[in-house]
C-alpha cells in the first residue's frame, strides 16, 4: 500500500478488492493491498461484525493453502434507479450483485417533465413497496441518468430533476444514502466489475454505444473519483446532420446509436438492445449497408481521436453494438482515429468489451455497491425500515403540491 491511508480508506480498499475479485483468500487480499496479516485480520473482523463481509470455508486450489474464503455479504442490500434505453429500470440486489427485484417502466425519449416524474415516482413506489413486503433494509441507492452532471441547470436528454428524485426517495425510503451519476459512469463502473482484478492499471477511454452514446476516462490506479464522463455522443460531426435527442443537429449519437444503426442491420432497436448480442443472428448485409456501417464506424473513430487529443490516454475499450463485430469493426475505427488523433493511431491500443447491452439494472446495482464500499461501508445514518412507507396518490400530492389532474 502506498502512503498512509485512513481507516476508512483501508476498509474501502479491502471491500473494493472483494467486489472486483468476486471473493478472495486472505493472502491474496494482503498481497494486492499491501497490508499486514494483522491489519487485514482487524479490518475483516470489523467488516464481518457489521455484516458487510462473509467468511466461508473453501479450500485453496493448492496444497497447504488457506481454507477460508472472503466475499461481500449476500445479506446486505442496495437499490438502483437506472434510466436507460427509453425505460426507467428499478432494482434491488445484494453486495454480490445478485438481483433480487427488477422492474421496468416505459420512459420514451421526449417524455414531458410531469409524465417523467409520474413514471419515476411509480417506479420508486413499486420498489419501496417490494422492500417493505420482504423486510429489506437498503444500505445505498444509486440513480443513473443519461446527461446528468452535478450542478447542471437542466438535462436535455431526460426532463427529470434530481431534486425531485431525491425528495421522492426520501418519502418512500427515508434515510437511505443516495448517489447520482451519469449513465456512462455507471456503465464504466459495471465494466470494471465485469473484467475483475487485473494487473494492468493503465488508464483507458471507455466508449459505450447503445440507445445513447458516451465515453469515460477511467483510471484503474485511482480510488473513488476515477471515472471522468465525456459527452462524446454529443460531439457535433455535421451541423447539417440528423437531429439528435439532445436538441442539436449532427451529433455523433444521431449516427451511431442503436436507433440509428438498427435499420442498417435490418433489426428493430429493441432487438439490438437485448442481452448477449442475440441480435446478430440472421443478419444479412447488402453492399450498401456494409459500406455505410464502415463509414459510421470511421466517424466514431474520428470522434474518439478528437477526445484522445484532450487526454494522453491511448487505451480504448469499446462496448455496445460494435463489440458484436470486433475485428470487422477494427479497421474502420482505427482509420477514423488516425484521421483525427495528433500523431496518428499507431500507438492506440483498441479492444472490445462484449455482452454489455441489456444488463439493466445490473449496472445500477454495481454503482450502488461501489458507492457504499467506497466510503468503507459506513452507513450514515442507519436506515430505519419502520419509517419507510408506500406512497399513495394523496401523499404524492401533499408532498409535491401538484394538482389532482396531474396525477
List beta partners, residue 315.
Answer: 349
Asked if 17 contacts 32 with a C-beta cutoff of 8 angstroms, the reply is: yes
How far apart are the C-alpha atoms of 86 and 336, rounded to whole Å? 29
Grid coordinates given for 322: 460494435
Phi, psi (5° rounding) for residue 365? Answer: -65, -40
| Residue 124: strand, helix, or coil | helix
> Regarding the domain delimited by 77-184+360-406, which CATH topology (the fold level of the hierarchy) does it fall under?
Nucleotidyltransferase; domain 5 (3.30.420)
Rounded to whole angstroms, what are the CA distances from 311 to 110, 216, 228, 306, 308? 33, 11, 11, 9, 5
Distance separating the N- and C-terminal Cα atoms of the chain: 54
Beta strands in 38-155 (DSSP E): 53-57, 68-72, 77-84, 87-94, 99-106, 138-145
Q: How far apart are CA 53 and CA 13, in angstroms?
A: 13
Residue 43's contacts (CB-CB under 8 Å, 6 or more residues apart) are 10, 11, 14, 35
Strand ranges inside 6-67, DSSP E = 53-57
pLDDT digits (tens, 9 = 90+) for 340-355: 999 999 999 999 987 6
The pLDDT of residue 64 is 58
The residues spanned by each domain of the chain are 7-72, 77-184+360-406, 200-353
Q: Alpha-carbon distance 290 to 295, whole Å?
A: 9
Q: What is the pLDDT of residue 235?
A: 96
**Euclidean distance between CA atoms 405 and 407, whole angstroms:** 6
Spatial CB neighbours of 187, under 8 Å, sequence gap ≥ 6: 206, 208, 214, 216, 319, 356, 363
7-72 and 77-184+360-406 in the same fold: no
Q: Which pLDDT does position 181 carry in this prediction?
A: 95
- The one-character DSSP state at 395 is H
Tell me the pTM: 0.87
Architecture per CATH, 7-72: Orthogonal Bundle (1.10)
| pLDDT reported for residue 129 | 97
CA distance 203 to 219: 4
φ/ψ (deg, to 5) at 87: -140, 155
**Which residue, among 110, 106, 74, has the nearest Cα to 89 in the 3D structure?**
106
Q: Please give the Cα distance from 107 to 119 (Å, whole number).
A: 7
pLDDT at 355: 63
Q: Is the peptide bond before 296 cis (omega within 30 degrees of 0)?
A: no
Segment holding 369, helix H or strand E: helix 362-374
Give the burial string for 54-86 (b: 16+ CB within 10 Å, else e).
Answer: beeeeeeeeeeeeeebbbbbeebbbbbbbbbbb
Averaged over successive runs of 10 residues, the pLDDT of the chain (407 residues) comes to 71 91 87 84 92 85 73 95 94 95 94 95 97 96 94 85 94 96 93 76 92 92 70 95 94 97 94 80 89 97 97 94 90 97 96 78 94 84 52 42 31
Contacts of 179 (CB under 8 A, 6+ apart): 140, 141, 142, 143, 367, 368, 371
Q: Which three cell numbers stand for residue 18?
A: 472483494
pLDDT attached to residue 206 = 96
Q: Is the dihedral of CA 147, 149, 154, 160 positive or negative?
A: positive
**Considering the domain 200-353, what is its CATH architecture?**
2-Layer Sandwich (3.30)
Best CA proximity match to 44, nearest among 75, 16, 11, 77: 11
CB burial of 178-199 (b: ≥16 within 10 Å; e: otherwise) equals: bbbbbbbbbbbbbbbbbeeeee
Of 226, 235, 401, 212, residue with least CA distance to 306: 235
Give the per-residue pLDDT at 279.
Answer: 81
Amino acid at each position: 500500500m502506498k502512503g498512509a491511508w485512513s481507516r476508512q480508506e483501508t476498509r474501502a480498499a479491502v471491500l473494493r478488492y472483494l467486489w472486483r475479485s468476486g471473493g478472495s483468500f486472505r493472502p491474496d487480499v494482503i498481497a494486492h493491498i499491501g497490508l499486514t496479516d494483522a491489519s487485514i485480520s482487524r479490518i475483516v473482523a470489523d467488516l464481518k461484525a457489521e455484516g458487510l463481509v462473509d467468511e466461508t470455508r473453501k479450500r485453496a486450489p493448492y496444497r497447504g493453502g488457506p481454507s477460508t474464503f472472503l466475499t461481500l455479504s449476500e445479506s446486505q442490500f442496495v437499490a438502483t434507479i437506472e434510466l436507460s434505453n427509453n425505460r426507467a429500470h428499478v432494482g434491488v440486489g445484494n453486495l454480490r450483485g445478485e438481483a433480487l427485484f427488477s422492474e421496468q417502466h416505459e420512459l420514451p425519449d421526449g417524455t414531458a417533465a410531469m409524465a417523467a416524474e409520474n413514471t419515476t415516482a411509480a417506479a420508486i413506489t413499486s420498489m419501496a413497496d417490494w422492500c417493505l413486503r420482504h423486510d429489506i433494509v437498503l444500505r445505498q441507492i444509486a440513480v443513473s441518468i443519461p446527461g446528468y452532471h452535478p450542478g447542471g441547470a437542466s438535462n436535455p436528454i431526460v426532463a427529470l430533476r434530481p431534486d425531485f428524485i431525491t425528495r421522492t426517495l426520501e418519502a418512500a425510503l427515508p434515510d437511505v444514502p443516495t448517489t447520482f451519476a451519469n449513465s456512462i459512469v455507471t456503465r464504466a463502473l459495471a465494466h470494471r466489475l465485469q473484467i475483475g482484478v487485473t494487473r494492468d492499471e493503465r488508464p483507458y477511454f471507455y466508449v459505450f454505444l447503445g440507445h445513447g452514446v458516451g465515453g469515460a476516462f477511467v483510471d484503474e490506479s485511482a480510488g473513488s473519483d476515477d471515472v471522468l464522463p465525456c459527452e462524446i455522443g454529443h460531439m457535433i460531426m455535421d451541423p447539417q446532420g440528423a437531429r439528435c435527442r439532445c436538441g442539436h443537429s449532427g451529433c455523433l449519437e444521431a449516427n451511431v446509436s442503436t436507433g440509428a444503426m438498427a435499420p442498417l442491420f435490418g433489426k428493430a432497436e429493441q432487438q439490438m438492445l437485448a442481452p448477449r448480442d442475440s441480435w446478430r443472428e440472421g443478419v444479412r448485409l447488402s453492399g450498401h449497408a456494409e459500406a455505410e456501417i464502415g463509414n459510421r464506424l470511421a466517424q466514431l473513430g474520428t470522434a474518439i481521436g478528437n477526445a484522445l487529443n484532450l487526454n494522453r490516454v491511448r487505451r480504448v475499450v469499446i462496448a455496445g453494438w460494435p463489440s458484436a463485430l470486433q475485428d470487422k469493426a477494427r479497421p474502420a475505427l482505427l482509420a477514423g482515429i488516425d484521421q483525427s488523433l495528433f500523431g496518428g493511431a499507431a500507438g492506440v491500443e483498441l479492444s472490445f468489451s462484449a455482452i454489455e447491452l441489456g444488463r439493466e439494472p445490473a449496472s445500477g446495482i454495481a454503482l450502488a455497491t461501489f458507492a457504499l464500499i467506497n466510503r468503507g461501508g459506513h452507513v450514515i445514518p442507519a436506515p430505519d425500515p419502520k419509517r419507510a412507507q408506500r406512497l399513495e396518490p394523496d401523499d404524492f400530492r401533499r408532498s409535491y403540491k401538484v394538482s389532482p389532474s396531474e396525477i
